[in-house]
């Protein structure tokens, strides 16, 4: 059986984390190497500088007092407390004049002032001897052929370099391990969040439309993505629910006109008709067909609107449009025995589609006329709203809409039971709500403040001001 890699090891996040870990390791290695060589280089340069200073001072003694003064200066430096240098001075015959060693501890180099390295035996107080390492410079003295060696114990320098090496050998694997550990942990976290998204998608595909992506509240990119996906799923669930209800609603709303149409035609076919009766029957049939076609046209336009296939927004004066609609509906209200008044502020500019805004306002006014009993009142106002908005409000004195049903009546084909006796398709407020969404506004339904049995409805289309 072939075992697959864990999920998080196959994620892009882990691959990126692995790449960053490699980059971090390379950077750490380069940094440690630089620190090592720069520290060693500094120590050696400092040692060379101090050796050069010793030679300069001893050279001044030699040039001012000759071999005698040089030997005296070497003896003084040998007995100086805290000195870390070793000295050896010999004459031209190789005989020791002064120094820490019994004889020259290193073979003379081919060139003067060259750095030399050598080991020497150092007696201890207990009689034992230890081998020490030293580095120094060797020069030939002019005129008499003697030689001078100045060296220093490299034990401290070697210890410092060793500590640096040990620190590098310890820090490098720790840094690599921590970088890999961080990559693995971050990848596992990202993989688990991605798995949550995948499980949610699988659940929704399996029919659990109420399933949502968990949002942890951290505000990171996964939370933002989850919020967008949840919003999308909310819209999908809303559309699916609307689609589920559409068939029943269409059947319920179109059954009556189609039944009347069939009965009328059946009666017409069952008996001879005069010319006037035939014309009347055909006229009524055409009206029924027109109502059915109007319903389907409303469905088509609403679908196109929600799909974004309609509407071209331009800067327009909604006050002029409102005044035209007020003039159009004033006679309709008078015919329905309703009082109508309008109060329209001038020069209310919005960015919108004139036809769609006009259709939405016409639907709001038509609903008010349709559901307000005779003797009632309707008002139509256009005014500035809060925070740079414009409120287009229609208020009637009809039965109103209960608060629990207000979210329902803006859905497709959703009508209150009391409205089933009125002609219509249940698409009027759905179109108004879609137009509001398209223009970045919203539709608000409230009680108009009437008596409990007839509270009335206050419908406000709030749009952003241009």
Name which residue leads in pLDDT, 238 or 60.
Answer: 60
Q: Which two tokens stand for residue 222?
A: 């996964």
Q: Which of 100-114, 163-177, 226-240, 300-314 has the highest mean pLDDT?
A: 226-240
Domain 314-464 CATH (choose: 3.40.50.150, 3.30.565.10, 3.20.20.70, 3.40.50.300): 3.30.565.10
Q: What is the pLDDT of residue 9?
A: 63
For residue 277, count other CB atoms closer than 10 A to its CB: 13
- Side by side, the strands of the sheet bearing 147-153 are 96-99, 85-90, 147-153, 129-140, 114-123
3-state secondary structure of 1: coil
Q: How confident is the model at residue 343 (pLDDT cuts 50, 70, 90)?
A: very high
Q: What is the pLDDT of residue 126?
A: 78
pTM of the predicted model as reported, rounded to 2 decimal places: 0.47
Condensed to tens digits (0 to 9), the pLDDT of residues 122-171 reads 777 777 878 888 888 888 887 777 888 888 888 777 787 788 778 878 87
Tell me: pLDDT of 326 over 90: yes
Q: What is the pLDDT of residue 56?
A: 86
Q: What is the pLDDT of residue 420?
A: 45
Q: What is the pLDDT of residue 397?
A: 93
Q: What is the pLDDT of residue 301?
A: 64
User: Which letter, b or e, does each residue of 121-147 get, where b requires 16 or more Cβ atoms within 10 Å of its Cβ?
Assistant: eeeeeeeeeeeeebbbbbbebeeeebb
3-state secondary structure of 157: helix
E-strand stretches of 252-396:
314-317, 339-344, 349-352, 377-384, 389-396
Cα gap 466→461, rounded to integer Å: 15
Condensed to tens digits (0 to 9), the pLDDT of residues 66-117 reads 888 888 898 888 888 777 788 988 888 888 888 888 788 877 766 565 678 8
Of 14-23, 191-200, 409-418, the least confident: 409-418
**In CATH, what class is 241-306?**
mainly alpha
Q: How confident is the model at residue 364 (pLDDT cuts 50, 70, 90)?
A: very high
Cα gap 187→174, rounded to integer Å: 20
Q: How confident is the model at residue 245 (pLDDT cuts 50, 70, 90)?
A: low
Average pLDDT of the residues in 216-222: 80
Q: What is the pLDDT of residue 298?
A: 64
Average pLDDT of the residues in 321-341: 94
**95 φ, ψ to 5°?**
-85, 140
Cα gap 151→167, rounded to integer Å: 28
Q: What is the pLDDT of residue 1?
A: 43
Cα 337 off chain centre by: 58
Q: What would the CATH number be for the domain defined by 14-161? A: 3.30.450
Tell me: pLDDT of 357 over 60: yes
Tell me: pLDDT of 310 over 70: no
| Residue ranges per structural domain of the chain | 14-161, 213-240, 241-306, 314-464
Average pLDDT of the residues in 302-329: 80
For residue 216, give every residue at least 6 positions away whose Cβ sits within 8 Å of its Cβ, in sequence order, or none.
222, 223
Q: What is the pLDDT of residue 413?
A: 59
Q: What is the pLDDT of residue 35?
A: 81
Tell me: pLDDT of 423 over 60: no
Q: Give the dihedral sign, CA 254/257/260/262.
A: negative
Contact (Cβ atoms closer than 8 angstroms) between residue 288 and residue 295: no
Share the mean pLDDT of the chain: 81
Cα gap 213→222, rounded to integer Å: 10
Q: What is the pLDDT of residue 10?
A: 67
Q: What is the pLDDT of residue 421?
A: 46
Cα gap 152→147, rounded to integer Å: 17
Does the fold of domain 314-464 match that of domain 14-161? no
């Amino acid at each position: 059986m072939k075992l697959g890699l864990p999920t998080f090891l196959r994620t892009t996040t882990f691959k990126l984390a692995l790449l960053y870990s490699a980059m971090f390791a390379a950077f750490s290695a380069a940094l440690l190497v630089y620190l090592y060589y720069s520290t060693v280089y500094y120590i050696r340069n400092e040692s060379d500088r101090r050796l050069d200073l010793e030679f300069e001072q001893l050279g001044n003694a030699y040039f001012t007092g000759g071999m005698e003064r040089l030997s005296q200066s070497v003896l003084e430096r040998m007995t100086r407390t805290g000195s870390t240098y070793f000295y050896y001075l010999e004459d031209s015959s190789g005989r020791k004049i002064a120094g820490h060693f019994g004889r020259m501890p290193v073979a003379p180099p081919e060139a003067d002032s060259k750095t030399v390295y050598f080991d020497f035996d150092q007696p201890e107080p207990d009689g034992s001897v230890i081998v020490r390492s030293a580095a120094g410079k060797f020069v030939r003295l002019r005129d008499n052929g003697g030689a001078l060696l100045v060296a220093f114990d490299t034990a401290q320098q070697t210890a410092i370099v060793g500590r640096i090496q040990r620190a590098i050998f310890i820090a490098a694997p720790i840094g690599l391990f921590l970088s890999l550990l961080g990559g693995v942990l971050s990848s596992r976290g990202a993989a688990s969040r991605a798995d949550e998204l995948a499980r949610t998608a699988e659940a929704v595909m399996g029919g659990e439309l109420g399933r949502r992506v968990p949002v942890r509240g951290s505000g990171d990119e996964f939370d933002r993505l989850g919020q967008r996906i949840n919003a999308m799923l909310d819209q999908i669930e809303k559309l699916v629910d609307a689609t589920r209800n559409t068939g029943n609603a269409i059947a319920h709303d179109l059954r009556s006109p189609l039944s009347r149409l069939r009965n009328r035609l059946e009666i017409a076919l069952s008996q001879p008709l005069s010319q006037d009766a035939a014309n009347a029957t055909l006229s009524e049939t055409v009206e029924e067909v027109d109502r059915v076609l109007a319903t389907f046209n409303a469905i088509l336009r609403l679908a196109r609107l929600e799909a974004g296939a309609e509407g071209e927004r331009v800067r327009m004066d909604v006050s002029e449009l409102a005044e035209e609609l007020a003039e159009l509906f004033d006679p309709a209200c008078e015919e329905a025995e309703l009082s109508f008044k309008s109060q329209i502020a001038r020069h209310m500019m919005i960015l919108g589609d004139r036809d769609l805004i006009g259709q939405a306002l016409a639907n709001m006014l038509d609903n008010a006329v349709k559901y307000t009993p005779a003797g009632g009142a309707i008002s139509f106002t256009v005014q500035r709203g809060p925070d740079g908005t414009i409120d287009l409000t229609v208020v009637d004195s009809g039965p109103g809409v209960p608060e629990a049903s207000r979210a329902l009546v803006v859905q497709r084909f959703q009508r209150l039971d009391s409205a089933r006796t009125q002609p219509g398709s249940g698409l009027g407020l759905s179109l108004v709500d879609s137009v509001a969404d398209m223009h970045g506004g919203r539709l608000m339904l409230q009680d108009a403040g009437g008596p409990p049995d007839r509270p009335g409805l206050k419908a406000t289309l709030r749009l952003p001001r241009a």
